[in-house]
Amino acid sequence: MYNCLMYSNELIKGTLKTIILKLLQDSGRMYGYEITQRVKSLTDDKINLTEGALYPTLHKLQAESLITSEQEIFNGRKRKYYSITETGQANATARAEEFISFTKTMFAIIKPQLTK
């Protein structure tokens, strides 16, 4: 869709990655289910991560060495805790800045009509 010079072409599609990385950057380690609940409460129920979207993305982020994982048993149930790596930290910051920049650009397009 976009062939951007400043924005990676994953900016939009990759919003989920940005969300996950930013949460991990903020909270230290988290497990999958915890992430869905945090997103739900942070966004006031507006974003409800599905498992079919979350887990494959977590696996992808780990494959890219942006996060690491360690499995534990908590209260009889398996939990897989994810932590952000150093590379992931830099990536998270870059993604967030890109998103903010993109937002400004989009506003340049949609704002004029809003005030009509």
- Chain residues that interact with a copy of itself, rule: CB under 8 A: 1-7, 12-13, 15-16, 18-19, 22-23, 25-26, 39, 42-50, 53, 92-93, 96, 99-101, 103, 105-106, 108-110, 112-114
115 touches, from a copy of itself, DNA, none (C-beta below 5 to 8 Å by class): none
Query: Phi/psi at 74 (nearest 5 deg)?
Result: -125, 115
Nearer to a copy of itself, 45 or 63 (CB): 45
Residue 32 Cβ vs a copy of itself, minimum distance, rounded to whole Å: 15
63 touches, from DNA, a copy of itself, none (C-beta below 5 to 8 Å by class): none
What are the DSSP calls for 58-80, one per residue?
A: HHHHHHTTSEEEEEEEETTEEEE
Closest CA to 23 of 52, 53, 58: 58
For residues 1 and 9, what is the distance between their CA atoms, to the nearest angstrom?
8
Does position 2 interact with DNA (CB under 7 A)? The reply is yes
Do 46 and 101 form a contact (C-beta atoms < 8 A)? no
Q: Which stretch binds DNA (CB under 7 A): 15-23, 85-93, 102-110?
A: 15-23
